[in-house]
Amino acid sequence: MEIIELARSIRARDPARPTWVEAITCYAGLQAVLMHRLAHALYRGGFRALARAVSHSNRFITGIEIHPGAKIGRRLFIDHGMGVVIGETAEIGDDVLIYHGVTLGGLTLDSTGKPGKRHPTIGNGVAIGAGAQVLGPITVGDGARVGANAVVSRDVPPGETVVGIPARPPQEHRIMPAVARRRAVPQHSPGYGLLDEPCDPVGEELAALRAEVAQLRAELADVRRRTVMASGGVGQTAAE
């Protein structure tokens, strides 16, 4: 029985160690998943309007918005849950942990706006921190971790941890262009305020500063070398 399976998962994973009654009656994530099962069944049966009505009621009651077309695996734990949005073509594996404020959003990468896969696929055992935005038809691999408030718009390998905007592994130090290239205004935005290519203005500014410092160091080394050579020549002339 899924309600028992969900409650058992909550009791095992929540450090607050709620009682069975608390897990079943006081956790919006559990209630949201159960209501989504009904909405999804109606959606697959062709009762789209009724499915959306159930989904809307789910959002009103729990604060969690799950499109009835989304595919959700077993033992999904939505902790706190307020503000979570899961889009129509999103797919979520088993034993996934999602905190409040997370968006599994869609990007329309096709400029024609044709329907299709627009939302992320989340693997088994993934944890997504509060406020993270996982956008587009990307894949977050099994066991991956997404830090709070990260913006993920590229695939995440299995077992990897990504943080920041744009999201990347914390130990990764990318070499950015020395001078930020001028970006043309995109003819088509995929959504969520993103450009048609990765944008990291802070990283590009830091890269420009690194390049300038490296250039200054090279010039200073050249000046020192010339000074040494000049002083050596003067000393030799004086000795003669």
Angle at 143 between CA 141 and CA 146, to 5 degrees: 80
Question: Which residue do the tokens 């499915």 mark?
Answer: 51
Phi and psi based region of residue 95 (left: phi greater than 0; alpha: psi -120 to 50; beta: remaining): left
d(CA 98, CA 76): 8
| 74 CA to centre of own chain | 21
Non-local CB neighbours of 106 within 8 Å, separated by 6+ positions: 87, 88, 89, 90, 118, 119, 135, 136, 137, 191
Catalytic residue among 36, 40, 67, 100: 100
Q: Alpha helix locations (H) across the chain?
A: 2-13, 20-25, 28-44, 48-62, 201-239
| Largest separation between any pair of C-alpha atoms in the chain | 103
d(CA 82, CA 103): 11
Non-local CB neighbours of 227 within 8 Å, separated by 6+ positions: none
Q: What are the C-alpha distances in Å from 235 to residues 9, 202, 229, 232, 240?
A: 82, 49, 10, 5, 9
Q: Is 80 among the catalytic positions?
A: no
Catalytic residue list: 100
